[in-house]
Structure 1
């Protein structure tokens, strides 16, 4: 089906169907909304110039999310090279602003954060995440297990701090 679509039709489909997912992935991996918006624009600009084909809509979505995550990494590296104050992990407040799970997820190391996002928010399996991030599926399963443990600890401490 995807092979029969023109480049413009693929682009239109991508924008209409996956813009929200691309933006969420960018927000998950960016310092602020403005950076995430820039990443979304970069992703769709890259799609405009992409000469490959997509086997399915799922392949297109996975490609878009991978490009978004990689673009966020590029921005993080660029910020480091400019000696700006940017931690490897997204800056999260010492205390979670509203106690939300999302704030805790944003405080996780990059691999854990992306594994959690792709699995729980986008519904990918460990094998699919592994292909997207270039890691064996067992490694992804370890990231998910460790991320859940860290989230449990962080959220438990948050609740205990509120009680005291």
Structure 2
């Protein structure tokens, strides 16, 4: 079990990342907060050490995504609809281009995830493939298809 200091350091380091990923999947603040707590509880109980900071960050991303998917599979969640305001919970400051954010959030989940990891977190396609446990060509395809959809929705390049 990890020390309180280690967990506090991880919360300081990864809180924003995990919150954004969870909100990207769940689209409501309450579920995002629940998953956030679950992720750090799993970290607290995780006894293995990480090879590097990047490995630790990838672990947090993977656990966050998997936990969000578990929430989405839940019967209650799949049979209810929440209409929380996406913009207010996603960012503390108003987005510079709300139409872009709205378009990204309207993408299918797999496209949303690769766009987020690539443009917002700065991962390369090969790294995204490792994190999502998909083939690199799948990531390239999803990126291309997501860009085509965004291009149509936003009317331009």
Per the normalisation by structure 2, the TM-score is 0.81
> How far apart are the structure 1 equivalents of 2:142 and 2:76?
24
Contact kept? 1:23, 1:40, Cα under 8 Å: yes
**CA offset at residue 101 of structure 1?**
1.1
Contact kept? 2:50, 2:56, Cα under 8 Å: yes
2:36 to 19, 30, 40: 40
1 or 2 for the larger relative contact order (CA 8 Å, sep ≥6)?
2
Number of residue pairs the alignment of both structures matches: 143
> How far apart are the structure 2 equivalents of 1:55 and 1:73?
26
Asked whether 1:57 is paired with 2:53, we answer yes
Asked whether 1:68 is paired with 2:103, we answer no
- Structure 1 regions of 5+ residues with no counterpart? 1-5, 87-91, 93-97, 158-164
1:27 to 17, 23, 26: 23
Per the normalisation by structure 1, the TM-score is 0.78
1:76-114 per-residue CA deviation (whole Å, 9 max, x = no partner) reads 11147763358xxxxx8xxxxx85211111111111111
Sort the Cα spacing of 1:81 and 1:101 in 2 relative to 1 into closer, same or farther, 3 A: closer
Largest Rg, 1 or 2: 1
CA RMSD of aligned residues (A): 2.4
> How far apart are the structure 2 equivalents of 1:81 and 1:57?
33
